[in-house]
Amino acid sequence: MAGGGARRALLWGALVAALLAILAAALVERLRRPEPPPYLGAVPDFTLVDHAGRRWTLRDLAGRPWIADFIFTRCADTCPRISERMARLDRELPPEPPLRLVSFSVDPANDRPEVLARYARTYAASPRWSFLTGEPKALYTLIREGFKLGVEPLPRDVPSPPVPITHSTRFVLIDGRARIRGYYDALDPEAAVRLRRDLKAVQQGG
């Protein structure tokens, strides 16, 4: 009897130890998982066209996170740096889980699909990186009211830069349900670290 009791005690001890190990592993995994970023609004539906001439709506981005930026091809100041940083994300972020990168032109009068196609080739954009343009009023309304970011087009009597188009230099993280999850200065290395951390949290279901 004494031997049987000792064996049962050992079995119960082993079971308790296994349960504690499982709980500890779950706790460690939870602590490792990044805190999910907050909800900061929602992107409304839109109808635009990409650099291949294809029609795009918000439905084309449903079900997966995406990162947006705002550029124009005639820009000689911040836009090349923003696009280079987006190109770095395109090169370095893994193909799985699925992700989209979307650059919205703030100069739609000039940035027709064929112009954006040449720009995309300049940065060796992969198929997951799209460049969108369209009707100016629709674009500016989307940027101002949808993304809650500023943009000021060129005056009508200025045909091209050097007068710049004033626009945001931020990346925007959007989840697969079109909810804005964060804004990040595209030119700030520390912001890039936060973007990658928040993207990982969103991809993990945060």
- What is the tens place of the pLDDT at every residue in 95-109? 999 999 999 999 998
pLDDT for 49 beyond 70: yes
Domain 47-203 = CATH 3.40.1550.10: no
Q: Is 174 helix (H, G, I), strand (E, B) or coil?
A: strand
* Other C-beta atoms lying within 10 Å of the C-beta of residue 140: 16
Q: What does the mean pLDDT of the chain come to?
A: 88
Cα 130 to Cα 128: distance, rounded to the nearest angstrom: 6
pLDDT of residue 101: 98
pLDDT of residue 29: 47
Q: What is the pLDDT of residues 25-46, one digit of tens each?
A: 545 445 456 688 999 999 999 9
Q: Which of 9-23, 119-133, 188-202 has the lowest average pLDDT?
A: 9-23
Cα 144 to Cα 160: distance, rounded to the nearest angstrom: 22
Cα 146 to Cα 44: distance, rounded to the nearest angstrom: 6
pLDDT of residue 99: 96
* Other C-beta atoms lying within 10 Å of the C-beta of residue 192: 17
Percent of the chain scoring above 70 in pLDDT? 79
Cα 74 to Cα 80: distance, rounded to the nearest angstrom: 10
* Other C-beta atoms lying within 10 Å of the C-beta of residue 52: 13
Q: Are 70 and 104 in contact (CB under 8 A)?
A: yes
Q: Are 114 and 133 in contact (CB under 8 A)?
A: no
What region does 158 belong to: left with phi over 0, alpha with psi -120 to 50, or beta? beta
Torsion (CA) 197, 198, 199, 200 in degrees, nearest 10: 50
